[in-house]
Each structure stands twice: as C-alpha cells, then as structure tokens.
Amino acid sequence: ETGVTQSPTHLIKTRGQQVTLRCSSQSGHNTVSWYQQALGQGPQFIFQYYREEENGRGNFPPRFSGLQFPNYSSELNVNALELDDSALYLCASTPSRTRSTDTQYFGPGTRLTVL
Amino acid sequence: QQQVKQSPQSLIVQKGGISIINCAYENTAFDYFPWYQQFPGKGPALLIAIRPDVSEKKEGRFTISFNKSAKQFSLHIMDSQPGDSATYFCAAWDYGQNFVFGPGTRLSVLP
C-alpha cells in the first residue's frame, strides 16, 4: 500500500507568478484535502475534493483552486502569488468523503517560498 | 480566526516524565477531537482521537482527557521518550469545516 506522495518537495517562486502542486492519494482513497501550514502554525484547511468535485472550502481566496483526476490524484493551483503564500502545503487523503472518524493520511508536503 | 487554542507553545520534559498539552475550543458543533504528531520534514500523523461522549481515552503511553462542559481537552504522554520529540497538534472536526487545527506544541524530551 503506497502512502500519500507530493511533488515537488521544494519550490521557489516570485510574487505574481503561478504555481501548481501535485498530490497522489493513498491507494483506495477517493477524497483529497489540501492544507496550508505557515511556519510555526497548525495546518489550515484550503479545500477538499471528492470524486473530482470540490466538497468544501476553507477561508481562502479564489486564486487558490484545485483539480482532482479520475485516478483521485489532485492538483493545487495558486495564481498571483503573494509573499504570505510562503508555507508548507499538505495534502491528505481519506478513503471516502470525510466523516469525522476517517483517518486522514498526510503527505510530506511541498515547501513553497515566494520571494 | 483561531477556533482551537493550544498551550504551551513549547515544552521541555525529562526522559520518563509526563508531557501535558492542553487545548480549548468554542464551537460546540465540534464532535471529534484528534491529536496529530509531526516530525520535521514530515506531514502530521494521527496519534489518538476522542469523541465528546467519552471523558478519557488511552492508547499505550498516550491519553486524551476530555471535559465537555469546559470545552477543553488535553494530551498526556506518560514515560516520555526522546523519540517523542516532535510538534503536536490538537484538532477539532465540524462537518463543513473539515478539520480545524491548533497552533501546535513543540515537545523536546531530554535524554
């Protein structure tokens, strides 16, 4: 059973650019959630995808968007990057649309630095 | 908007000691409270979780105590080991919000 993988590991962008982060969910999991973790803070929920549809969104502007593919892998896209977007971006998968007791399996994250 | 408060921010404990991390929440709609452990360079991993109809849950050296009336819950790590050194996050779940995490506690267990 493969775990959650994310790519790239690290990324450096400049303000105003666009970035795409990728996540492969754990085998058998059809739900993917994305989180932003600023340095020294807890993860903040960005949005969740279930069977290719957005299934919940946190308090993030529309320039944060996502996709989920038929194989349940997912992308996080951020347009018009701002300095405050510098953070660790975490992807988590669950075996179904999140119920409270479903264990979320987190990937190692992508460290994004915006200069 | 911090919906889950966590303290202390950092904690240093001697090997064999008890580590205690506290969390508090306001939203009474939260109905599931997990704790996550995160090592440097890794994503958070579920450690232990509790529902509000239970006052205590123990798994090995890890215990959650839950006080529904006070809207507080805590993690106790008994016989703390250097390998427990990590950042710990409490979280709460409310359908529609997904998980809301606390700001984290950095635990250092001295050998």
A32 touches B at CB < 8 Å: no
Ramachandran area for residue B103 (φ above 0: left; ψ -120 to 50: alpha; else beta): alpha
Query: Cα dist. B55→A98, B3, B51, B74 in Å?
Result: 24, 21, 8, 11
Q: Say yes or no to pLDDT of B1 above 60.
A: no
Q: CA-CA distance, A23 to A47, in Å (whole number)? A: 13
CB B51 within 8 A of CB A99: no
Q: Name the least confident of B41-50, B82-91, B102-111.
A: B41-50
Cα four-point dihedral sign B102, B104, B105, B111: positive
pLDDT of residue A40: 87
Chain B residue with CA closest to A49: the answer is B98
pLDDT digits (tens, 9 = 90+) for A77-112: 999 999 999 999 999 998 876 566 677 889 999 999
**In angstroms, rounded to a whole number, what is the distance separating the alpha carbons of residues B37 and B55?**
21
Instruction: Please count the residues of chain A.
Output: 115
Whether A9 and chain B come into contact, CB under 8 Å, resolves to: no
3-state secondary structure B30-78: CCEEEEEEECCCCCCEEEEEECCCCCEEEECCEEEEEECCCCEEEEEEC
Question: Taking a contact as any Cβ pair under 8 Å apart, which residues of chain B between 28 and 47 contact chain A?
Answer: 31-32, 41-46
Residue A109: its chain B contacts at CB < 8 A? 43
Query: Which range, A60-64, A93-97, B91-95, is most confident?
Result: A60-64
Return d(Cα A33, Cα A42) in angstroms, integer: 15
Q: What is the pLDDT of residues A63-79, one digit of tens each?
A: 999 999 998 899 999 99
The amino acid at residue B104 is: G
3-state percent helix, strand, coil for chain A, nearest multiple of 5: 5, 50, 50
Please write the tens of the pLDDT for every residue from B31-61.
889 999 999 988 999 999 999 899 999 999 9
B111: closest CA of chain A, how far (Å): 24
- Mean pLDDT rounded to a whole number for chain A: 91
Quick one: pLDDT at residue B2? 57
CB contact under 8 A, A101 and B49: yes
Chain A: closest CA distance from residue B102 (Å) = 6
